[in-house]
Structure 1
Amino acid sequence: MTAADTADISPIARVSAKAPSFGERITQYGYRALYRLAPRAAGRRAADAFGFTRGYGLPVSDRVPLGARAMQIAGNPDIDRAYRWPGGAARALLVHGWGTDSSSMLGFVKPMQTLGLSVVAFDAPAHGISPGKHTTMTRFTRATGAVLDAVGGADVVIAHSLGSIAAISALAERGVRPRCVVLIAPTAALTGVLERWAQNDMALPRPIVDRIYAELLVRNGVPVSHWDIPARGGALDSPVLIVHDPDDPVVPYCEAQRVSEGLAHATLEPMPGCGHGRILSDAKVRERIFAFVKQHMSNLEERIA
């Protein structure tokens, strides 16, 4: 069996402390066998697995979410629409994490509308209704930027997990300064995600990992190290709230600590017992985010849309 015969395992979709299953051990063997025969092919195949987005097996529906209307997104080859909920001229952008879709962020729609904001969400490339099952951080970031362009910027940005890198990078590329930003269980850098996945989840030998880095450089157009929140967001002067479970089983708490230390106006608040995905629906987390956004929107005057 070669790696080409094995199943994809998403880099962010499984608990890192879990022992590898029989199928995952077979996958690890497949990569090693393929590397001995064709090192470059092994690197490409492993890079495919790292970019896999359908690890949760979520059902896909093209129905427009309740209360929203679909809006066209022009100029991006990976996504063609977003969803917009009515509100005031001020806008909130919701950015989901890797392997999920916009439905994971719907719990923030009503609270943001209550504060007078219109709300926008979208399915990232190869997520939800967007076609494909593999993507890159470059494509995720470009799609986020395309949505920002389509709606004329954002006053509030709320992002989860790996979506935090895409959100901060898109804001930095466009020089957009939101009134405030919320990062929920953020990953600080793509390098850490790759290293944990390759070493802990896949047990890949170093030569294959190095091949992944080389392949992702080709696919992204920039090195993996480029995707780093403190580096990309160093000039961001918006207030940032970071919420993260200290015992998050998917993204270590130290990632949030690094983000907090690297952004000029960031506040980190631990949220024990919320997990990585469940944190999005936790009542106290939503209340804290609502209070933070309300504080920073209180002086905002209505703009002409």
Structure 2
Amino acid sequence: MQKLLTFLISKSLGLYINILSYIYPKKASRLAYRFFSEPRDGRLSKETLPTILQEADAEMLTHKEFVFQMYTWKGNDTKVLLVHGWESNASRWELFIHHLKKSGCTIIALDAPAHGLSSGVEFNVPRYAEFIDIVVNKFKPNYLIGHSLGGATALYYQSHYPNDYIEKLVLIGSPSDLNTLLTNYAGLLSLNSNVFQLLEKHFFEHFRIKTHEFSGGLFASKVKIKGLIAHDLKDSVVSFKEAEKIAVGWPNAEFLVTEGLGHSMHGDELYTKIYSFLFGR
């Protein structure tokens, strides 16, 4: 029943936006982008903070009109920065953090815009990258790890904010092309081609982004550090083909294929391999 209700709501919303696109195109554009960029899950409350986050040193940082939450599990001088994905928060790294602690490293994680305890109602990759840049310049991490859209943002960050701090980059279940995300979104709501063009126009007018050029494969071609791309063959959220696109553009990256981990990509064997990639000699 819940799936049917969600389906009907999605299609009804799509129909409304489609009709609006011919009458009030600007309103249709704003509405389509809003539902594309506003997460419906992933928020946290200070009163019910997950235990793993309670164990960390918490700090709220400011950037322009935004505030964002970050967490630090203190260790030695080797530092790892963890970047979560869509409709998630820093607590998604709990299982992996237990693996990382074996190295004695310092672990840093942050909540994305409109996620966890961070402010805002909208998520977009360029803004998330700005948050990451503040953390990188403050803590100078050696390794950067991102899951899903967090991985896409980490790749975007490394290609647009070159620095001498990050030595290795790990992408887990990450999408590549913005146009693929938009196509999937349009399919979910049954949006017509007119709305799709309005969305493309919105990205260019507000972010100077040409959606067909916003590609992980292109970003990866600019990254010189060592990388690890991990993706599950049966990922039902982000197609395995997305990882292949990134791998083609990034010859200095290892490609790790899993099967059975889905999109969440939680697994001791995977975490052991990532650990070895980071800390192995």
TM more than 0.5 = yes
Count of equivalent residues: 274
* Alignment check: 8 A CA contact 1:145 1:171 kept: no
Are 1:106 and 2:91 matched, yes or no?
Answer: no
Are 1:150 and 2:138 matched, yes or no?
Answer: yes
Q: 2:160 corresponds to which letter in structure 1?
A: E
C-alpha offsets along residues 229-274 of structure 1, whole Å, 9 cap, x if unaligned?
2222323222211111111101000001111111121111211111
Separation in 1, partners of 2:214, 2:82 = 19
Residues 171-182 of structure 1 correspond to what in structure 2 (within 5 A)?
A: 171-177=158-164, 178-182=166-170
Separation in 2, partners of 1:88, 1:224 = 41
Separation in 2, partners of 1:216, 1:31 = 17
Match of 2:12 among 9, 21, 26: 26
Separation in 2, partners of 1:72, 1:43 = 33
* Alignment check: 8 A CA contact 1:136 1:220 kept: no
Match of 2:148 in 1: 161
Are 1:41 and 2:27 matched, yes or no?
Answer: yes
* Alignment check: 8 A CA contact 1:189 1:225 kept: yes
Separation in 1, partners of 2:174, 2:42 = 21
Match of 1:135 in 2: 123
Change (3 A) 1:216 1:61: same
Separation in 1, partners of 2:65, 2:39 = 17
* Alignment check: 8 A CA contact 2:232 2:261 kept: yes
Identical positions, percent: 23
Residues 1-305 of structure 1 correspond to what in structure 2 (within 5 A)?
A: 21-54=7-40, 57-58=41-42, 60-62=44-46, 63=49, 65-151=53-139, 153-177=140-164, 178-198=166-186, 200-277=187-264, 279=265, 281-295=266-280, 298=281
Once structures 1 and 2 are overlaid, which stretch shifts more, 64-73 or 248-257?
A: 64-73
Separation in 1, partners of 2:93, 2:58 = 16
SS of corresponding position for 1:140: helix
Separation in 1, partners of 2:62, 2:21 = 41
C-alpha offsets along residues 16-72 of structure 1, whole Å, 9 cap, x if unaligned?
xx9971111211211122223212211111011111212xx3451224813210134
Q: Give TM-score scaled by structure 2 length.
A: 0.90
* Alignment check: 8 A CA contact 1:230 1:259 kept: yes
C-alpha offsets along residues 62-108 of structure 1, whole Å, 9 cap, x if unaligned?
24813210134344433333111111111100000111111112222
SS of corresponding position for 1:43: helix
Q: What 5-or-longer segments of structure 2 have no aligned partner?
A: none
Separation in 2, partners of 1:146, 1:128 = 18
Q: Which has the higher strand share?
A: 2
Once structures 1 and 2 are overlaid, which stretch shifts more, 230-239 or 116-125?
A: 230-239
CA RMSD of aligned residues (A): 2.2
Separation in 2, partners of 1:219, 1:101 = 26
Separation in 1, partners of 2:65, 2:95 = 28
Q: Which has the higher helix share?
A: 2
Change (3 A) 1:167 1:77: farther
Once structures 1 and 2 are overlaid, which stretch shifts more, 24-33 or 170-179?
A: 170-179
Separation in 1, partners of 2:71, 2:212 = 31
Separation in 2, partners of 1:175, 1:139 = 16
Give the superposition deviation at 1:226: 4.7
